[in-house]
Homo-oligomer: A and B are copies of this chain.
Amino acid sequence: MIKLLIYEDNPQLREGLTMLIDGSEGFSVLAAFKNCSNVANEIKTYQPDVILMDIDMPGVNGLQGLKIIRETNTEVKILMLTVFDDHQNIFEALQNGANGYILKKTPPAKLLEYIEEASTGGAPMTASVATQVLKMFAQLNLPSDKDYNLSEREKEVLQWLVKGYSYKMIAAEMFIAMDTVRSHIKKIYEKLHVNSKSEAVAKAFRDKIV
């Protein structure tokens, strides 16, 4: 038996969802609310397995509710339920630990399937949402694993540079002469094709050397 809470401001939809889900075998709607203004307590009181969370609600909305819940509870499955497959909302929801993101136009049978999936650790997403998620992934810029052929020692020096250490401090940290630090740094600049500390730091970040 999957126990649910529903957060949805529209009274008709709230009633409709409750009837649909509560009337289905294996599902039980514990309660339904019109916003998240008391969500923390409600979760603690009802101990649901799954939460259907509308995003667009007056008062404390679904994204805020999601964050509030996740501050103390990482177990309960939260299924975002919304009209729009809006880029920004999807992103924010998934960033904050939502377990799924489905559109309200989802047919009833499919909805029950999605709830089931969420409760068993899945990540149900409407197709259009999944597509956007993948696009976001492809746009992430990650370790471009460029090498620049930095030697171990040079990488080590670069680490300290990035932390804002002066030559003198680096020399002390690495137990070598300041002049040696200098020659390492010179070599680093050559290899990175830069000619100042801050450029080296910037490049280290950009190319994820650090």
Listed in ascending order, the chain A residues whose CB lies under 8 Å from chain B are 94-100, 117, 121-125, 127-128, 130-131, 133-134, 136-138, 140, 142, 161-164, 166, 194-202, 205-206
Contact = CB atoms under 8 A, between A and B. Distances in A.
Contacts of A94: 134, 137-138
Contacts of A121: 131
B142 A95 contact: yes
A112 to B, nearest CB: 15
Contacts of A194: 164
Q: How many copies does the complex hold?
A: 2
A25 to B, nearest CB: 21
B163 A202 contact: yes
A73 to B, nearest CB: 14
Contacts of A136: 137
B122 A127 contact: yes
A194 to B, nearest CB: 7
A166 B195 CA distance: 11
A166 to B, nearest CB: 8
Contact of A202 (B95, B125, B205): B205
Nearest to A101: B134
Contact of A127 (B98, B123, B134): B123
B117 A122 contact: no
Of all A-B residue pairs in the complex, the 8 with the closest CB atoms, nearest first, are: A164-B199, A123-B130, A122-B127, A205-B205, A94-B137, A123-B131, A123-B134, A198-B201
A94 B140 CA distance: 10
Contact of A138 (B97, B131, B166): B97
A164 B127 contact: no
A114 to B, nearest CB: 11
